[in-house]
Structure 1
């Protein structure tokens, strides 16, 4: 704060959430650093564009510590941070991985950007490999592979070391590394393997054999039911349900609470997987997959819970004010999200704590 001609000015305050910031008009961000995946030995740039009265000084921190500049690490004239030859480890240092934020300061005060997490691209070994199967002719085969890549690896499948023809409607590829083969035939017998690729590497899983045997009567069985999912609004939910039996069971879906699943944005993948495009909060619930033997009441069920969350967003932002000395200033910040967001107030880049002349109320004023 400062005194000028008997007027008491309160520097602009910053209300921070994981999804953004709210600022006064004197100094504001046009672009803040975003989470990014870096590739080892390549250059990385993090944006920090600010508008306000000049001169404006932009500085950067990593993991809350001021970032020293060097020929390899530079702050460009527009505030962008440039890191040459991104490294996981360096001699005497933890490397370049971490959380970055930029600070902008002029005569009105100081603002701190959101924290951007910088990850290193990687593709470790598979932690789940496909397993060989014996399947009756006309039945269903399911192979799965799992690998934790950064960024998420693109998964494809090979049969006898040749890329699988995904145009065949009997093949269903799910994004969680699952390959389903329905209506299995003798020509499907062979050796399958999973291929994972991202910007860091390409890896091949162990091979798994599919052996096709003669038809026989079998009760309906759900080979793989829906898993519990937690997604963000506007993402796509895929609930797996693959059932086998002879005769082939009929797969249907319902909600445990009895509410209608609806038809908009709903699609069935393969012979029973449920895909919900552009999920909303209303899609949260427990979903029931049922496999019925045709012409009978015999059925098997499996349950999976879908939780849809909404990222925090501001409904009301604090506004800059000027008050006479001894007066009171009220700043209001309102946000919503699922789960309910936690609000933090900053003054000149530092966390604001309640004191003798500062009060934070339940509605975050």
Structure 2
């Protein structure tokens, strides 16, 4: 019949949403519905009805409670997966969106900082990388204590990069990364910074220690392009675009001695960026290139379809 199921008869107040769960901690997924009672709420995981137990139960309001989230049980992936709930009353059945449940994790560092020797007045750079779910917060320690980041010679960039410019004898020491997320805290291997005596003021050609990486980000995010150079006299770092268009001034900042930060990026910021290290007063220069790709927020049809609730009639 034409009016067999009116969406107004059964509708969601709260649907389950994607979440990152912590092992051995409780997890709750919402499924709150309004409509004519009685309403039956059922839950599925990966399309199969969810077996209930004292550990996995549905509360009065339809919420799914998993007492202690498990990683593996009898050799199968236990609680990770896609969950949805269905509500049924005499008018029909309403199925929620699918919610992906991931497990928080913090594996070992896949890049550890590497020890280095630097002349006084030179530049040091350390980097660590780790793939956490959710993304880990990275901080740095020197000689097992927190790094004094208020010192303007220390520049911390995302991607776990630490730059030290105008290196002094007092910078000698052991550096390491600390990564933290809801799953764990991990420490990287130690890296020693060895500062060698103030070399006689001999001429050194400009060298780019580390140039900009290719970077793909979404509109409105912040882009940071790295450029750190050494030489004697100290080189002057400048930025340009390969296509000759102006970088502009709006939302543009230099971080540390030569890194380029573009806040609130737009599609127009896409392009190849050139970092140049120039020897003062001459045409002597070294360059490094990096491509910045700015993507629009992805609003594709598939995503919209997944978000929409299905209604079926009986």
Give the shorter-chain TM-score range: 0.7 to 0.9
Alpha-carbon distance in 2 for matches of 1:193, 1:173: 13
The match for 1:265 is 251
Alpha-carbon distance in 2 for matches of 1:11, 1:302: 63
List aligned pairs for 1:98-137, cutoff 5 A. Answer: 98-137=81-120
List aligned pairs for 1:142-161, cutoff 5 A. Answer: 142-161=125-144
Q: Which shows bigger deviation, 341-350 or 291-300?
A: 341-350
Per-residue deviation at 1:270?
Answer: 0.7
CA contact (8 A) 1:103 1:111 kept: yes
Per-residue deviation at 1:87?
Answer: 0.5
Match of 1:311, SS state, is coil
Alpha-carbon distance in 1 for matches of 2:255, 2:192: 24
The match for 1:317 is none
Alpha-carbon distance in 2 for matches of 1:347, 1:39: 28
Runs of 4+ residues over 6 Å off in structure 1: none
List aligned pairs for 1:1-365, cutoff 5 A. Answer: 3=1, 8-9=2-3, 25-91=8-74, 93-213=76-196, 214-215=198-199, 216-312=202-298, 337=299, 340-342=300-302, 344=305, 348=310
TM-score computed with the length of structure 2 as normaliser: 0.88
CA contact (8 A) 1:11 1:348 kept: no
CA contact (8 A) 1:47 1:81 kept: yes
CA contact (8 A) 2:31 2:62 kept: yes
TM-score computed with the length of structure 1 as normaliser: 0.76
Per-residue deviation at 1:90?
Answer: 1.5
Aligned length: 307
CA contact (8 A) 1:109 1:348 kept: no
Q: Which runs of 5+ in 1 are unaligned?
A: 13-23, 313-336, 351-365
Structure 1's 78 and 275: CA in aligned 2 closer, same or farther, altered over 3 A?
Answer: farther
Q: Which runs of 5+ in 2 are unaligned?
A: none
Per-residue deviation at 1:38?
Answer: 1.2
Per-residue deviation at 1:344?
Answer: 4.2
Structure 1's 220 and 93: CA in aligned 2 closer, same or farther, altered over 3 A?
Answer: same
Deviation digits for residues 145-202 of structure 1, max 9, x if unmatched? 1111222222111222221100000001112111100111111122211122222222
Structure 1's 115 and 302: CA in aligned 2 closer, same or farther, altered over 3 A?
Answer: farther
Structure 1's 230 and 27: CA in aligned 2 closer, same or farther, altered over 3 A?
Answer: farther
Per-residue deviation at 1:234?
Answer: 2.9
Match of 1:187, SS state, is helix
RMSD: 2.4
Alpha-carbon distance in 2 for matches of 1:108, 1:289: 65
Alpha-carbon distance in 1 for matches of 2:309, 2:192: 63
If asked which structure has higher relative contact order (CA below 8 Å, sep 6+), I would say 1
